[in-house]
Amino acid sequence: MKIYFCGSIGGGRQDDEIYARLIEKLQTYGEVLTKHVGSKTVVQDEIDLTAKYIHDRDVRWLEESDVVVAEVTQISMGVGYELGRAAAMGMKILCLYRPSPDKRLSAMIAGAHNGTTFVVKNYTEEEAEQIFKDFLT
């Protein structure tokens, strides 16, 4: 299984360690094409890449993927774009959100939840493994 993992890069890197741990868990189910999202150095690593190159590469990976898993706690226009593209392609999507008083989930994400092909889950990190098992198997 090819998994496309989404997490904020340009919108803020506060959750990079969480992304890395989620990606590690996801790798037990298949190949995570976007494991760089969990890297502490992703911004520096991609500094010389053009926006066009990153866009085209990521869309190509999205098209190759079987499923999308997105961590949507940190607001990110890029993640929203990726989710919109994936939904338009009819892909199976899981969005994970950690509720907190200072963050609010976008209505466009929460409202897309249909329980089957577009699933939005409030979660804690401890629950992620079971959520992945339920969604991916």
Q: Each residue of 34-90: pLDDT tens digit?
A: 999 998 878 787 888 999 999 999 999 999 999 999 999 999 999 999 999 999 999
Amino acid found at 126: E
What is the extent of the structural domain holding 126?
2-136
Q: Which residue, chain included where needed, has tokens 């098992």?
A: 133
Query: Sign of dihedral through CA atoms 43, 71, 131, 129?
Result: positive
Burial of 116 (0-12, 13-18, 19+ CB in 10 A): exposed
Question: At 119, which helix (H) or strand (E)?
Answer: strand 118-122
Query: Does 20 carry a binding-site annotation?
Result: no
The angle formed by the CA atoms of residues 20, 64 and 136, to the nearest 5 degrees, is 55
Cα 18 to Cα 21: distance, rounded to the nearest angstrom: 5
The angle formed by the CA atoms of residues 12, 2 and 27, to the nearest 5 degrees, is 70
Range 106-128 average pLDDT: 97
Range 12-34 average pLDDT: 94
Query: What's the number of domains the chain is made of?
Result: 1
Please report which confidence band the pLDDT of residue 125 belongs to, taking 50, 70 and 90 as the band edges. very high
Query: Does 19 carry a binding-site annotation?
Result: yes
Residue 55 has a pLDDT of 97
Cα 61 to Cα 124: distance, rounded to the nearest angstrom: 27
Domain harbouring 18, CATH code: 3.40.50.450
Residue 109 has a pLDDT of 97
> Does the structure show a pLDDT above 80 at 10?
no
Query: Does 100 carry a binding-site annotation?
Result: no
Range 13-31 average pLDDT: 95
